[in-house]
Structure formats: structure tokens, C-alpha cells
Amino acid sequence: MRRVFAVVVAHPDDEAFSWAGTVALHADDPDFRFVLIHATRGEAGDIRPGFDATPDTLGSIRQAESEAAWRAVGRAPDRHEWLGFPDGGLPDVPAAELTERVGEILAEERPDVLAGFGPDGITGHPDHVAVGACTDAAFAGLVRSGGPGFRRLLHHVLPQSVFDRWQQQRRELDLPVFDPTRVFHGRGVPDEEIHLVVDCRSVARQIVAGILEHRSQLHVMADQPVDEHRLARIVSLEWATVVWPPTTWKEQALTDVFEGL
């Protein structure tokens, strides 16, 4: 039975720490279809000193890095859409326009499960928040219109207990800690809002291999120098909140995006 998983993010590396594990776990499933939508090409990203890129070339470089990353993970998207909105400018794009563009693709694909950013955007990034809200709006409109698909909406999140543990580990390693009141810093959500926990330990090395392909942004994605063993531990689990269907969540957390559908 065909199962479609769609992910909507803002920038070419946003999905590297979120859903690469789920995709890798389903890599050999012939009935699995993976749809990835990037709202921007990440052209406004930071360029580390000495890296061969300019503001004019960074977008195409990051697009190529994303494609290389998925090859490293072992499962390229079956459909990969680049909407071409301005990096850093998604809050200024009319919400109706962004919602329509995302919705057009989703209407064609009819994903069983859709994943995007929640209101916290994981890091409070305005682009993440904007594209997350428009993804939710597109999903809601398509649910109302009826038809197949759209059986579950997920927000990628970080449990508060995990965030607190990571903060303590960073203090012990003498690394900068995050300030969840600041933009671009990580933040957690209450543990009781965690409805999905995916064990990605068996594919953690593949996830790390994908992250390492984002060479232009690796200096902002991971502590330097990169400790691949520590990175593999960080990506060993994926967490999400189930936004749709609405429910008072009391049952045990799901372990796969398609579980129970």
C-alpha cells in the first residue's frame, strides 16, 4: 500500500536534524514515497571565512548540498520542490501566497503524513515560524476539501527534558548554552506534548553523513570541530507532536510516522 510522507521546511538544511532518520528507516520500502518542499534556497545563510561562495552563489551551493545530503542518507526525495521565496523574507511573503504554493503541491501528492514546523520553529527562526503556519493552513484547507490522504499532521519538536539534558552536557563540555528566549537558539516543548518518538540509532551514521554534506553551513549546524560520535547520539531520536487528528493524547507515544494509520 502506497504511503506518502511529505516534509515542508524553510531552508536546505532544516530537515537534516529532523526527518532524515525516518526517511532512512523507510529507505527500502517500495511503497514509501517521500516529498520534500523547501520554501527558500538558503541564499542568505552565513558564509564561513575561506569557503568558496558568495551571496550570489550560496543558494545554488546549498541546493546542491541538500541533494548530496539525501544521497548520503541513502534515500533521495521522490519529489523535491524549491519554491524560491527569499531566504530571511518568509514573514514578508503574503501568507495566502505561501499557503497556496505549498497547498498546490500537497493537493497533487495527497500525503498520508505531513510534517512541518510548529509555532516555536525549533529555534524561533521567523522563516521557520512563517512556513510552519502556512503549512498548517494548507493542510487544514485540504482536510476540509475531503478526499484521500492528510491523515496526520506532525510538528517536529524537542522535548523539554531532552533540551535541559543537552544544556547540562554543554555546560560540562564548556560549550555555549542556548537561550530559548533568543531567535536562532533551540528551545523545548513540554514532554507531555511529545506524541511520536522515532528510534533512529540504526541509521544514525547515515543521518550524520547527510549533515556533513552541508559543508557551507556546518560551522553553524554543529559544534566545531565536529565530533561525529556525539553528533550520532544527538540524532538518535526524532520527536514530534501530533497536531491532526485532534485528540486528548493519553496513549503511549507512536514510534513511526505511519503507525496506527
pLDDT along the chain (261 residues), means of 10: 95 95 97 98 94 96 98 97 98 98 98 97 97 98 95 97 96 95 94 96 98 95 94 97 83 91 92
Q: Cα separation of 73 and 194, whole Å? A: 25
Half-sphere exposure of residue 60: CA atoms within 13 angstroms, side-chain side = 5
For residue range 171-213, list pLDDT tens digits in order. Answer: 999 999 999 999 999 999 999 999 999 999 999 999 999 999 9
- Residue 130: all three cell numbers together: 512563517
Q: Please give the angle made by the CA atoms of 161, 163 and 169, to the nearest 5 degrees.
A: 105
What separation in angstroms does the CA of 79 have from each of 39, 134, 202?
A: 14, 20, 25
For residue range 80-97, list pLDDT tens digits in order. Answer: 999 999 999 999 999 999
Superfamily of domain 3-244 in the CATH hierarchy: LmbE-like (3.40.50.10320)
Q: How many CB atoms are located within 10 Å of the residue 181 CB?
A: 8
**How is the chain split into domains, by residue range?**
3-244
Q: Cα separation of 8 and 247, whole Å? A: 23
